[in-house]
Amino acid sequence: MRTLSIVMLILFATSSRALLAQHAAISGTVTSSDGAPLSAAHVALPDALRGVVADEQGRFYISGVEAGRQRLRVTHVGFRVEEREIVVEQGATLRLTITLQPTTVDMGEVRVSATRSEELVRNVPLPMQVAVSEQLLRAPSVGIADALDAQPGVALIRDGVWGTDVSIRGLGRSNVVTLVDGARIETATNHAAGLSLVDINDVDRVEVIRGAASTLYGSGATGGVVNIISGSGHYSDAFRFSGALGSGYGSANNGATGTLALDASATQWFARLSSTLRSAEDVRTPLGTLRDSRYHDHALSASAGLRPWDGQEVSARYQRVRAEDVGIPGGASFPANASARYPMEERELFTAAWTSTAPLPAVRQLTLRYVHQLIERDVELRSSPVVTLRPSAEHSMHGVQLLGNLRFGERHNISSGVDAWQRRYTGRRLRENAATKTTVADMPLPNATFRSIGVFAQDEIALFDGATRITVGGRADLIHVWNDEAYNILYIESNGVRNTAPPSRVLRWTAAEGQDVSWSAYAGVLHRVSGALDLTLNLARSFRAPALEERYQYIELGGSTYIGDPDLASEQATALDLGVRLRHERVSVTANAFANFMNDLVVDRQVLDTLYVKDNVGEARLLGGELGVEYNPVARFVLYGTLSYVRGRDTGKDSDLPAIPPLTAVAGLRLPLWDLGHADVSLMATDDQEHVATGEKSTPGTAVVNARLRSNTLRFAGLGVQLFAGVENLFDRAWRRHISTLRGLVNVEPGRNVYVRVRMLW
């Protein structure tokens, strides 16, 4: 630790001396062609790895700019990229007004960081999608998973209306790494609801990698990555104060939302505070009210940044999302009078980071980040009027990451670093019997710890004047898992008297520990055939070490029992992806075909009608593809569509894998409403899913129509107002989503939902 501290002090001192003399800056405003300011525009100096996001008034400020010629790039969703060469004079501030021209189709010009370095989507060989804050606001999404549902290759997993997750290319939950500002959301595999503990109103963008990405993110990324970037403050060329106030309503569950965000900034610092309150009743469906689908939650987020010297930044963030009295809709394994809910579920996150730009000649940027996250979950299951189960758990995670971006010559852009994190689980379960006044306490899992330390490196190589980009990378991880001993009964309390050593008390899990060394590798190629046509090829070898719940769980869910296996082997996967991208001013097409070959896939194997045991599938194969099309035939009218298909097979047993989404298609039309805004009408259709695993139900196909409206930002005396409205499930169709939990939690989706949302900016 002392050696690391000395090294960091040397790097800090070196970079400070080298950059103190660089006092040049760039400030300005980004507007659309009609003169309206563009909030959330990204203004970057890509060669210097410097970039900022414009504030609500379209203003931006970049300090610590090296004097001389610089390449400036400005991007925004729905607008063409503006790239120009600028000259910055020593000690001066260059002031710019940048006007972006609108485009109606996706040109792949959104920045992403999920590849460990800032880059445009169109320059990344990996199949990726990005949903920015404005897109998240267009639909009345309860959580991140709802907002991603329409993207090709991504499917919504239902654990209720509030509790949702995503599946990517047929793999979900434990096979998808989810991060919030660099912190992995690690929690239970059954009813995780991890994505529901993220405030969707405080998100800048969500980046989705479809396919294996273990080289960058380690264990668990065999299916993909969901990288959530929270909203942040902005530096400015003078003291500024701004804010945003929002409110929304949905008719299907009388859902109400209120949000508030406040921003203050100057040249050397920024501070941001935001909060969201939400409340909803049981949702209405075409078949009646869905019992236990209500929710109530509130979120608080605070962030701050400080630039003590040019090229140096220290930032910190705190988030707290707390849900109370959240219903979990009952399913096939529940008695008719049973109920389930989260009395409380909470996520707290603290992150701190130090970033230095160009601390050494070959190092363009160095970032040291610390994260701490605590997730607490209380569950209440009432299986009868007298019997209540109360599981509770804490998931505490600490992580440290050192990331360096290096450049050697004009061809090599290297991202490398060390990534270490540790998750600690503690929990218990109470079984209360009101008739006998007896409480039995046990442990569904032993208290256990999962630690991962990984070293990774990735090189992006530009060839043939940038027409071909080759990306190669590798990673090695040391994984250490250990657990405390756990008895089937902690104690029995009867009439207020507690017995900690009842005769039926036996040892369920012995104390144990184990280690595993895993490696992963990646190679990707992006070849630009022409200015509009790209070809991509991705080959990856990835792994996933079994989670604590999969190793040790002994969970009873309303009659069904799930048992873990501490001897599970790590999953190994080899993935191949071929892609074609056509990006033109009037048409955009992306098509991908993939094959994922997995060994020792961990699944819930049904032993009895209500008994599931974790098991390794010897060999599994997932094949499929995605297609996305946008076409602008005339004016600002856009026709769009997506198509997603995946087939999962246990090749060893010649049977279907569980939880595979059906063939899904989306077709829609976006059209202008004069100069007031845009309308969007879409049809989402699914095929029958009859390729089901043992214990799963087949699901008939369906078609659902949605209609949405979005106004332009109207400004009155410095106040901006924007309106979002629409109807989901326009024809009130009764339909079932195939991917819900195996115990049949949700048998029907919400009915017609008329919603409205207003946002005011100042």
List the domains of the chain with CATH numbers.
Answer: 1-102 (2.60.40.1120), 224-267+278-761 (2.40.170.20)
> What mean pLDDT value characterizes the chain?
87
pLDDT given for residue 529 in this prediction: 95
Choice between 252 and 18, residue whose per-residue pLDDT is larger: 252
Give me 556's structure tokens.
């009873």
Question: What is the percent of the chain with per-residue pLDDT over 90, rounded to a whole number?
Answer: 49
Q: What is the CA radius of gyration of the chain?
A: 26
Give me 195's structure tokens.
């994505």
Phi, psi of 200 (to 5 degrees): -65, -20
Q: Give the tens place of pLDDT for each residue, 659-678.
A: 899 999 999 999 999 888 89
Strand 560-563 and strand 611-634: the pairing is parallel
Averaged over 395-420, what is the pLDDT? 90
Distance (Å, whole) CA 513 – CA 482 = 4
Contacts of residue 269, defined as CB under 8 A and 6 or more positions apart, other chains included, come to 235, 304, 305, 306, 307
DSSP H helices, 468-571, are 548-552
Tell whether the model's pLDDT for residue 528 goes beyond 90.
yes
Choice between 518 and 627, residue whose per-residue pLDDT is larger: 627
Distance (Å, whole) CA 701 – CA 712 = 36
Phi, psi of 177 (to 5 degrees): -85, 125
Q: Give the tens place of pLDDT for each residue, 293-313.
A: 999 999 999 999 999 987 899
Contacts of residue 483, defined as CB under 8 A and 6 or more positions apart, other chains included, come to 446, 447, 448, 449, 509, 511, 512, 513, 548, 551, 552, 566
594-611: burial string, b at 16+ Cβ within 10 Å, e else: bebebbbbbbbbbeeebe
Phi, psi of 81 (to 5 degrees): -70, 135
Q: Give the tens place of pLDDT for each residue, 170-202.
A: 998 788 999 998 888 876 555 556 788 899 999
Averaged over 40-56, what is the pLDDT? 81
pLDDT tier, 558 (very low <50, low <70, confident <90, very high otherwise):
low
Tokens 């989810």, located at residue: 178
Question: What is the percent of the chain with per-residue pLDDT over 70, rounded to a whole number?
Answer: 94
Distance (Å, whole) CA 67 – CA 72 = 13
pLDDT tier, 741 (very low <50, low <70, confident <90, very high otherwise):
low
Strand 533-544 and strand 571-583: the pairing is antiparallel
Phi-psi group of 232: left, alpha or beta (phi > 0 → left; psi -120 to 50 → alpha; rest → beta): beta
Give me 74's structure tokens.
């400005």
C-alpha angle with apex 140: 685 to 284, nearest 5 degrees? Answer: 75
Give me 450's structure tokens.
């999962």
108-127: burial string, b at 16+ Cβ within 10 Å, e else: bbbbbebbbbbbbbbbbbbb
Q: Give the tens place of pLDDT for each residue, 442-497.
A: 988 899 999 999 999 999 999 988 899 999 999 999 999 999 999 989 999 998 89
pLDDT tier, 363 (very low <50, low <70, confident <90, very high otherwise):
confident
pLDDT tier, 744 (very low <50, low <70, confident <90, very high otherwise):
very low
Say which DSSP state 311 is in. Answer: T
pLDDT given for residue 17 in this prediction: 40
Provide the CA 627 distance to its chain's centre, in angstroms: 21
Distance (Å, whole) CA 401 – CA 476 = 15
| Length of the chain (residues) | 762
Tell whether the model's pLDDT for residue 715 goes beyond 70.
yes
Say which DSSP state 740 is in. Answer: B
C-alpha angle with apex 566: 564 to 571, nearest 5 degrees? Answer: 90
Tell whether the model's pLDDT for residue 614 goes beyond 60.
yes
Q: What three-state secondary structure class fits 2?
A: helix
Give me 553's structure tokens.
């769980």
